[in-house]
Structure 1
Amino acid sequence: MVMDKRSARCTALFALVCAAVAVRAVSAVSDGPLQNGNFEYAPDQSQMMNNGSSVVTGDNAIPNWKISGHVEYITSGQKQGDMILPVPEGAHARASRTCAQDEKLVLTVVPGYQTSEVPIQTIYTSCGWDYYSWAFKAHAALLSLTIHNPGQEDDPACGPIIDAVAIKAIRRPDPTPISNLLRNGDFEEGPYVPPGSQSGVLVPPKTEDHVSPLPGWKIMAHKKVVRYVDAAHFAVPQGARAVELVSGAESALMQEVDTVVGTWYRLALAVGSAGDGCAAYEGPMRVQVTAGSSGTKTVEVYGGAQRAELVFQATETTTRVVLVSLGYHTKSDNSGTLCGPVVDDVSLVATSQPAARRLFL
């Protein structure tokens, strides 16, 4: 599935839904859905397979998109086999059934050939639809975005359902106080959040590519994600955005910072509950904060938000700051929705050496 879009030379960002969701253009167009990104403009019946089938036969049948291979166009509530297919935005979607155990999408932008695999086999919400994000850097005024299902299935109709494709230009985070060595520590710059979305946007693993949906941060994981949340639907400790650690120890937020060996630093952050009914059944939720090999602190979350800090002496010229949840949690409504502690307002500043503690006997 391919779409062409004009954009300026800058970084662009995709917000994907449950198998993909992403984007609209970059320069002259404001952040939001792509043209027919919600697939509400349907193909003509003459370009559909006979006998009421949902299979699309014409390469250019879906307005603003070009397709190849087995592609179906469905309406909300349409039944395929023994499954009823919901559509989250509007009444239509480009779709095929979900069957594989190791689902993933390949997203590609040309020219520049930037491509990534986005793992989507884990469902993080009870409704079955997840918003995913992906980022790339534009190298031309005219770009082609391809969304591809690389899976090889016995049933050609098996595959992820795609809807609500939108785009956002990633802007450099506002300048932070010169003392804060971390970039985007308040998480105010990040993926496009669809209006009315109550489930946040998932940020997939990103350990090598410097273009991240969450500027300044990388996601250390094999296939798991973190959730980007907004203050309109979640409890955000400060500002309008934060990150919820929803995958336990299988994913972590990481940022590498230049440090001076022998210098003392203070790493501070806000940790709390996302206010989404997340339940910790065996003790409190816990977040581990690590500063390279120089120090580690575990913060316990009992509800609300709290400040925590770690003071350490740098032992290397580059220090890796890592935030990870130490437990796996789901919402208390028995929906199976994955959740976890929220982190926000992270800062790293140079500080004076802590006063030596004296022991009086």
Structure 2
Amino acid sequence: MVIDRRSVQRAALVVLPLVLFVAARAVSAVGDGPLQNGNFEDSPDQSQMSGSVVAGEHAISGWKTSGHIELVCSGQKQGDMVLTVPDGAQALRLGAGASIEQQISGLTQGSYYSLTFAASRTCSQDETLSVTAAPAPSGAGSPAPAQTGELPMQTVYTSIGWDSYSWAFRAEGAGLMSVVITHNCGQEEDPACGPIVDAFAIKALHDQPPDQAAADNNMLRNGGFEEGPYIPPGSPWGVLVPPVDEDPVSPLPGWKVMAYKKSVRYVDSAHFAVPRGARAVELVSGVEAALLQEVDTTVEGSWYRLEFSAGDAANGCASSSDGSSSSGMKLKAYAGTSETTVDIDFRGAGGSNRGKIEFRAAASPTRVVFVSLGYHTKSDNSGTLCGPVVDDVSLVPIPPPYARRLLL
């Protein structure tokens, strides 16, 4: 058989771009789940380490590091304290001003994404983590501005010493983003002291389908909280949603957390009692954190009905953290200038009550707000913070004939 060399070359020219295209797609494909080496289990080359301290900026596979960063192993001690590793056997500790960065490709320009990761405080009460998402330089025009948020770590919500956090951003540029996590140090003098981070994952955020919203006649976005940040499988602690000030992007589409340094917890039906569907929000910070949504489609003077479920997460949340002997929880809801309070007393075993407000819009937009009226911890004396669950929220117009009866 005679082989035509020119035919082979032409075939190679066709096949090679196809191979490169397939390889590029394999690298850039982004799905809901862990980031590349998101739990740091891919051990670094010891030539790029100085003991447990990361010496090379590319020593950690998938990440670029800067500053004093330590590879922490499960069970490692800091004085008399045993350091906890949220996922697997290894994690990173970020020293004062230290940062880690990963480039994420394959994002859809203009779409929203939520980052989930675990963190534990090891030193100062004033530690915060700064998260930044910025388009990777493309060389074409001015890049979109970076998006930055600060996650307060003053409060530890669980008894295990670490919490899962979420933060959201909008994909800009060509869908290639650099995500940077930086330790904003507190008052500690030790430059090596800082939080432990682990278990990084990403999830695309979607709004409630328009056809579903129309079918329910619900004026609220994501009223069932089915859309939200990635919750790691097997994680019994949920994911914290931090306060959002000026940043319009929230890990809970449609909703924002109004607080100074406190958060709410996003929970799933696999580990908590959820009134309806698979997701809900647990208000774990008492009156210091409110969950809110502004509805700009209400008409001043028109009547509306707000309905919601206020529940018990079945996580043993039956004691008051202020030391009082009162049982049960209270959830307060506001719709514009109207309000109602729902009592929840299921002794930590699960269950929910339905709340309702019928009100006349005094202005537009109308603000819908939920807040827990008490501070609660689990009854097992672990110190884990808990609170009432809110779910299945709807805001619908009241037909004129019924609205006229409300005026009587």
TM-score range, shorter chain: 0.7 to 0.9
Shift in Å, 1:261: 1.3
1:221: which partner in 2? 259
2:190: which partner in 1? 155
TM-score, with structure 2 as normaliser: 0.78
Shift in Å, 1:121: 1.7
1:60: which partner in 2? 58
Change (3 A) 1:26 1:267: farther
Between the aligned partners of 2:312 and 2:203, the Cα distance in structure 1 is 28
Contact residue 318 and residue 327 of structure 2 kept, 8 A: no
Contact residue 135 and residue 213 of structure 1 kept, 8 A: yes
**How many corresponding residue pairs?**
330
Structure 2 residue 312 is the aligned partner of structure 1 residue 289: no
Change (3 A) 1:43 1:291: same
- Structure 1 residue ranges (4+ consecutive) displaced by more than 4 angstroms after TM superposition: none
Change (3 A) 1:82 1:283: closer
Structure 2 residue 238 is the aligned partner of structure 1 residue 200: yes
- Counterpart code for 1:99: C
Between the aligned partners of 1:114 and 1:82, the Cα distance in structure 2 is 39
1:14: which partner in 2? none
- Percent identical across equivalent pairs? 62
Structure 2 residue 108 is the aligned partner of structure 1 residue 108: no
Unaligned runs of 5+ in 1: 1-24
TM-score, with structure 1 as normaliser: 0.88
Counting only pairs closer than 5 Å after superposition, residues 185-334 of structure 1 correspond to structure 2 as: 185-258=223-296, 259-280=298-319, 281-293=325-337, 295-303=338-346, 304-334=351-381
Structure 2 residue 97 is the aligned partner of structure 1 residue 99: no
1:31: which partner in 2? 32
Change (3 A) 1:277 1:287: same
Shift in Å, 1:102: 1.1
Secondary structure of 2:64's match? Answer: coil
Which is further off, 328-337 or 79-88? 79-88
Between the aligned partners of 1:334 and 1:278, the Cα distance in structure 2 is 10
Between the aligned partners of 1:357 and 1:166, the Cα distance in structure 2 is 51
Between the aligned partners of 2:256 and 2:203, the Cα distance in structure 1 is 19
Alignment root-mean-square deviation, CA? 1.7
Contact residue 240 and residue 263 of structure 2 kept, 8 A: yes
Between the aligned partners of 2:271 and 2:223, the Cα distance in structure 1 is 20
Shift in Å, 1:26: 11
Change (3 A) 1:284 1:134: same
Shift in Å, 1:72: 0.1
Contact residue 122 and residue 193 of structure 2 kept, 8 A: yes
Change (3 A) 1:110 1:357: closer
Secondary structure of 1:177's match? Answer: helix
- Counterpart code for 1:94: L
Between the aligned partners of 2:64 and 2:74, the Cα distance in structure 1 is 22
Contact residue 26 and residue 169 of structure 1 kept, 8 A: no
Change (3 A) 1:205 1:357: closer
2:403: which partner in 1? 353
1:177: which partner in 2? 213
Structure 2 residue 188 is the aligned partner of structure 1 residue 145: no
Change (3 A) 1:105 1:217: same
Change (3 A) 1:242 1:356: closer
Secondary structure of 1:165's match? Answer: strand
Change (3 A) 1:28 1:173: farther
Between the aligned partners of 2:158 and 2:209, the Cα distance in structure 1 is 32
Secondary structure of 1:39's match? Answer: coil
Once the two structures are superposed, residues 27-70 of structure 1 have per-residue CA deviations (whole angstroms, 9 ceiling, x without a partner) of 72221111000000112112221xxx311111111111111110
Contact residue 26 and residue 167 of structure 1 kept, 8 A: no
The higher relative CO (CA closer than 8 Å, separation ≥ 6) is in: 1
Which is further off, 204-213 or 33-42? 204-213
Contact residue 284 and residue 386 of structure 2 kept, 8 A: yes
Which is further off, 76-85 or 317-326? 76-85
Change (3 A) 1:27 1:154: same
Between the aligned partners of 1:38 and 1:356, the Cα distance in structure 2 is 56
